[in-house]
Structure 1
């Protein structure tokens, strides 16, 4: 993610190189205190863990179970793939950079990380729009043929192509810059240099952000609002002619559940990504925002809210869809059973090792009656036999029954 790039314009004094004195801070002011770093690390670490694990499980549930391979679920796999990409390939590196005020991952990955950030959000919102259109056609026009698997894959491919084209400027104009301080320290920042200037000062960037807002937020959200509103009217508002059979009622309930789930997904998406789209536009019109004292925490909060959208979807699927819920339970049970099996194997190995290397005698706990004495230890009897020249084998006790009769207490 692009860092805030501050240009100071109030100081007129300059050094021999023409650099304004106020442009050279005494040190890296973007390094947060350790306790703030700890809190933000816990917030982002938990989010990445839930998002990555949850979306990987969603992909497995759909691809590993034949009855889950529906058109809607194929689109959900595409949505989970986009969410997994942004949580693993962008969030970890961008958060590390924002936490320490430094980008140590090189210029090439600066381009890749910024490209993935827009690629994933565009692919996510276009996939949500494709799901809403598919639901609209299935419910509003039930007699028309459903979308085939080949058509679904083609639409998914075009979603990624369109998202890549929309994200292309981040590959072209992202770069890194070394910023030095008066105390000798320095940091590397990952930002964008447009043809007409750096980020927050470029009018081209402003136009691009407006295009992203329109194409990747306003139009998809408007389209999904209309389609789900019409679908809601059809499922909850219309009255069927005649009495519905049990099968028809079950089909209507199933469609309602899917539509409810997707409405919640779209609503969460709209809430999470709205501040992310508004912030760069506000920063262009009010440049003093990027110099605000707590702007680093504000931007971290906006960024966390946007990226956290990737962890909510698996939770929503598990909460509102019984089949996904069963899939999650199956995964968790497999993990629990595997840990239990490992624990049992460990216990058995320890037990075998203890038995193998035990120093106790095999008949140490056996008691016998010998020469009228009750409960004499067997090893005492065998020692007596040894001293008299007889065999010490317990088997031979039967030959000397007139001297001793074996009685086991075990």
Structure 2
């Protein structure tokens, strides 16, 4: 690493004392800072509360514990961690462009939030793959509980491995008297390592998940279309330059972090079981009144006839009338234990 990239802890402490009271090119009026602080606070509160509620709805109710919903728990956990451990610190860093949190937390910020982001992407990919199997190949066996746990553990291990170089090469630097948390790759072959790392990340975090989700949902859509299933909503530089940059700097960070709060809102809007769960979770609020139907929706297992009707709608029973009621089954339709997927 270059000599300019390494600073001692004494220099960091001295610099932080100066930075605390200093005015930088990224400083802004108090009222603007208050507005941005409010925006970030709302983001964190909505993301943490919403994702924690999604996790509770699924884990606390037996009927909600399906393969797809376990991947949703993993996605919600990743988004919750992103909001809790990244958004607030990014706001403080972006609002003054000074790192106040020390060397150890610099390493943490370049490991865990990045890991959570990767986990979120691969959880969405796993959900797409599970929906593909459930709809396109409904009679194939679904992932077992141990298999689901193994896939989730694999997602976290892969995400940690992909985020580790960012953490390993994180360091504290001094830039015109301001403390920065940056990733500094080694001088020897550093550019090649950086290029290789970025290519791997692009391939594994962008290209591969995008291709898998695109193919999976395309085949799902074609399958449902051909079966005529009723259509449903599917689921430095000059000071002037710095001032211009400041206007969009916090907005970009806020938009990037706001993705952590969207999924719970989508679940609540598009899925009646999650709406019931949210009403039960926030029943202490005076404007929320859960009904008996909400409790039944999350606790009662649907009857066999209801499941058959759902499967009939998806045309998983449209094999042939004579085959479905063959003598081998004594005229009885198959139940979930015979390989039919439960509705997630």
Q: TM-score, normalised by structure 1?
A: 0.60
- The one of 77, 98, 106 aligned to 2:73: 77
1:260 equivalent to 2:206? Answer no
What are the within-5 Å matches in structure 2 for residues 5-404 of structure 1? Answer: 28-180=24-176, 186-196=177-187, 202=191, 204-239=193-228, 260-261=234-235, 292-293=241-242, 294-336=244-286
- The question of whether the paired residues in 2 share the 8 Å contact of 1:196 and 1:203 is answered with no
Distance between the aligned counterparts of 1:290 and 1:236, measured in 2?
Answer: 57
- The question of whether the paired residues in 2 share the 8 Å contact of 1:176 and 1:190 is answered with yes
Distance between the aligned counterparts of 2:73 and 2:238, measured in 1?
Answer: 38
Distance between the aligned counterparts of 1:296 and 1:51, measured in 2?
Answer: 25
Give the drift of 1:121: 1.3
- The question of whether the paired residues in 2 share the 8 Å contact of 1:90 and 1:114 is answered with no
- The question of whether the paired residues in 1 share the 8 Å contact of 2:83 and 2:257 is answered with yes
Deviations 1:119-138 (A, max 9, x none): 11110111111111111111
- The question of whether the paired residues in 1 share the 8 Å contact of 2:94 and 2:249 is answered with no
The residue number in structure 1 matching 2:338 is none
Deviations 1:137-183 (A, max 9, x none): 11111111111111110000000000000000122111112345xxx
Distance between the aligned counterparts of 1:336 and 1:44, measured in 2?
Answer: 26
Give the drift of 1:194: 0.7
- The question of whether the paired residues in 1 share the 8 Å contact of 2:107 and 2:171 is answered with yes
Question: 230-239 vs 147-156, which deviates more?
Answer: 230-239
CA 211–32 in structure 1, closer or farther in 2 if over 3 Å, else same? farther
Extract unaligned runs of 5+ from structure 2.
5-21, 289-344
Distance between the aligned counterparts of 2:151 and 2:97, measured in 1?
Answer: 40
Question: RMSD between aligned alpha carbons?
Answer: 2.8
Distance between the aligned counterparts of 1:149 and 1:174, measured in 2?
Answer: 37
Structure whose CA Rg is larger: 1
- The question of whether the paired residues in 1 share the 8 Å contact of 2:98 and 2:179 is answered with yes
Give the drift of 1:289: 12
Distance between the aligned counterparts of 1:231 and 1:313, measured in 2?
Answer: 21
- The question of whether the paired residues in 2 share the 8 Å contact of 1:112 and 1:171 is answered with yes
**What is the DSSP-based 3-state SS (H/G/I as helix, E as strand, rest coil) of the residue aligned with 1:191?**
strand
CA 196–32 in structure 1, closer or farther in 2 if over 3 Å, else same? farther
Q: How many residues align?
A: 266
Q: TM-score, normalised by structure 2?
A: 0.71
**What is the DSSP-based 3-state SS (H/G/I as helix, E as strand, rest coil) of the residue aligned with 2:27?**
coil
**What is the DSSP-based 3-state SS (H/G/I as helix, E as strand, rest coil) of the residue aligned with 1:194?**
coil
Extract unaligned runs of 5+ from structure 1.
6-25, 181-185, 240-251, 262-286, 339-410
Question: 60-69 vs 300-309, which deviates more?
Answer: 300-309
- The question of whether the paired residues in 1 share the 8 Å contact of 2:110 and 2:167 is answered with yes
**What is the DSSP-based 3-state SS (H/G/I as helix, E as strand, rest coil) of the residue aligned with 2:172?**
strand
Give the drift of 1:45: 1.3
The residue number in structure 1 matching 2:320 is none
